[in-house]
Structure 1
Amino acid sequence: MNELTTLERRALSRLTTPGGGMLIVAADQRNSMKKVMTDDPQTVDRAGLAAAKSDLVRHLGNRAPAILLDPETALPEIVDDGVIAPETGLVVALDASGFAETDEGLRRTRYIDGMSPRRVRELGGDAVKMLFYLRPDRGDAEEEVVTAIRDLVTAANDEGVLLIVEILTYRLPGESEEDYAAAFGGLIEDATRICVEQGVKVLKIPYPGSAEASDAVHAAAQGVPWAVLSAGVDHATFVGQVRTAVRHGSAGAMAGRSLWKDCLSTSADEREERLTGVAAVRAAELAAVIDEELAAR
């Protein structure tokens, strides 16, 4: 197991429920968040998106252990303006929107300009999150990604900042949906193993697909905490996925659109009503499920 330092343990404790489960509201989305706010995303400018994120923190994030935000539209204003509660943990995303693609159809994420683990500390973050796309079955062709993960682990360690690595797999050009679905659990397992080998101490990954696949991922994690992401599924589906994942080794969840995708609009009054009456209730249910399953292990 990649042991957490005292600083990292303290940071991780700020991201957890009373029962010790990880629960982070993911609100670092940019383009996808605009799409759920209006039928015409181009009408949502930076100020409009920033206002929605402030409301999301105020009415949802502050009711959860922690929230994940981006420094392009949300920070440092949400900290400087006192929107985020002192007791709410803050995770800061490093990854820019979208991805580049190689000639072979492999995906590459990019850093937001000027962002680093040191900058996350300056923004008041408790932890840093970086997304990497990875197809572990492509061997040497993915060495660039593996090296980038290893380098970021070193940079975060040097700064004493807790790093959460998010891994996403994806269909390759010409790969059928059926072939990708059949390979999915194994891809997540192998990606987990690769990350642990590079020194990653906390992981954010898609639900592996089943109890058996979750067991395999947990074995590959070798004691490293892993949280499942919601990937845009509906709340009821995600609750079921989290229950299974935690029962089979996961430390918790990082939930985004499953909590708030139908609770944001361009109207601040409507946002408040939906976030407090719907999204916050969902977050409380998710926290209860995580703690219940952890207690039963």
Structure 2
Amino acid sequence: MSPTDLSALQRPSGAFAMLAVDQREAMRNMFAEHTDQPVTDDDLRNFKLEAARILTPYASGILIDRQFALDQAIEAGVVDPGCGLIASADHFEPAHGELVGEVTIDRLVDPHKYKALGVKALKLLVLYRPDEPAEGRVEMVREFVDSCRSAGLISIIEPVSRKPLAGGDFDWNAGILAAAKELGSLGADLYKAEVPFKGQAPEAEVRAACAELTNAIDGPWVVLSSGVPEDVFPDAVRWACLEGASGFLSGRAVWASCIGAPDVVESLSTDAVRRLQRLCAVVDDVVSAQRTNA
């Protein structure tokens, strides 16, 4: 089978510089840290739509959730024509003391419907727990990949390392690699990975772990920014790309510090744009050099 054309999500350099605004209750909690008032669905929706309008001229892709903003973003035309639209196809449930403790495929995200509306890709979050059987995860990923393929959409999976339900010792970094070995060769077009050590280890250690991910994943992969300090993320992206990653699909490292700003739109238009442009320059620099040397 010939490789899927991923150019709808790539920059001219071949790098992926994609923005995520699909956070749900986690985003509500981020807003709640800055106000004594209840954070409404409209608060989240308005932020997501403003972020999309302001930042998509600089991003090669944007990930939006159905729960709050996908249909509204399409209807309002806030996504820049040069930015590929990615729909979250995951349904989150709180469980096990976690905001997102269980994940299933969102049956309300119909691949053929959203393909017709201009969506280029779907994304599925997968929770990797070392004490849960692999079969459920593998089955869900295979079903998701097949549904994307049948609709002509790019499939993106996002395995994240989680603590075992039974408790006990937990090696978060080992979970990142174990998830990649288990799920990284099931046919997904793009793999979205957590940054080993959250980018907070010596460069050699982070890069060695990223090289292991490259070996485990059959296809291109990108990093997310959750858990990585905003000021560390550009270096983390660079190190990952030097070891085989192809870019990023992240939100918090770009826009999180805009939440709570006196003028959120102004902060998105200046601070967030600047951060996103810097990240674009990082991936363009490294990925284009890697392609030249290949």
TM-score by length of structure 1 reads: 0.85
| Structure 1 residue 119 displacement after superposition | 3.6
Deviations 1:33-80 (CA, angstroms, capped at 9, x unpaired):
223334358722222221111111111233211111011211212121
Q: Is the 8 A contact 2:92 2:101 kept in 1?
A: no
Other-structure match for 1:239: 234
- Residues 230 and 253 in structure 2, CA contact (< 8 A), matched pair in contact too: yes
CA distance in 1 between partners of 2:36 and 2:254 (Å): 20
Q: Which residue of 1 aligns with 2:69?
A: 74
- Structure 1: which 5+ runs fail to align? none
Please give the alpha-carbon distance, in whole angstroms, between the structure 1 residues aligned to 2:101 and 2:43: 30
**Paired letter, 1:69:** I
Quick one: structure 1 residues 214 and 41, their matched pair in 2 at CA, closer, same or farther if it must change by over 3 Å?
farther
Contact 1:100 1:109 in 2 (8 A): no
Q: Give the aligned residue type for 2:112.
A: R
How big is the shift at 1:113? 4.8
**What is the alpha-carbon root mean square deviation over aligned residues?**
2.4
Query: Does the alignment pair 1:52 with 2:51?
Result: no
CA distance in 2, matches of 1:41, 1:119: 39
Task: Kindly tell me the number of residue pairs found equivalent between the two proteins.
Answer: 279
Aligned counterpart, 1:296: 289
* 2:183 matches 1:195: yes
Matches for 1:80-95 after TM superposition, within 5 Å: 80-95=75-90
Q: Are the aligned partners of 2:124 and 2:157 in contact in 1 as well (CA < 8 Å)?
A: yes
Q: Distance in 1 between matches of 2:153 and 2:20?
A: 19
Q: Which amino acid aligns with 1:256?
A: G
Distance (Å, rounded) in 2 between the aligned partners of 1:36 and 1:293? 32
Distance across 1 between alignment mates of 2:8 and 2:189: 16
* Residue of structure 1 in register with 2:25 after alignment: 31
Please point out which of 143, 166, 173 is paired with 1:151: 143
Unaligned runs of 5+ in 2: 198-205
- How far 1:252 moved relative to its partner? 0.6
Write the mapping of 1:1-297 to structure 2, written as runs, cut at 5 A: 3-5=2-4, 9=5, 12-39=6-33, 40=35, 43-100=38-95, 107-135=101-129, 137-138=130-131, 141-173=133-165, 175=167, 179-180=169-170, 183-209=171-197, 210-222=206-218, 224-265=219-260, 270-297=263-290
Greater RCO (Cα-Cα under 8 Å, separation 6 or more):
1
Match of 2:273, SS state, is helix
Cα pair distance change 1:124/1:186, threshold 3 Å:
same
Deviates more, 1:90-99 or 1:62-71: 90-99
Q: Tell me the secondary structure at the aligned position of residue 86 of structure 1.
A: coil
CA change 1:17–1:198 in 2 (3 A) is same
Identity %: 28
1:116, CA displacement in angstroms?
Answer: 3.4
> Deviation at 1:99?
4.5
1:98-135 deviations in Å (ceiling 9; x for gaps):
4445xxxx953023351232243244211000101013
Change (3 A) 1:119 1:232: farther
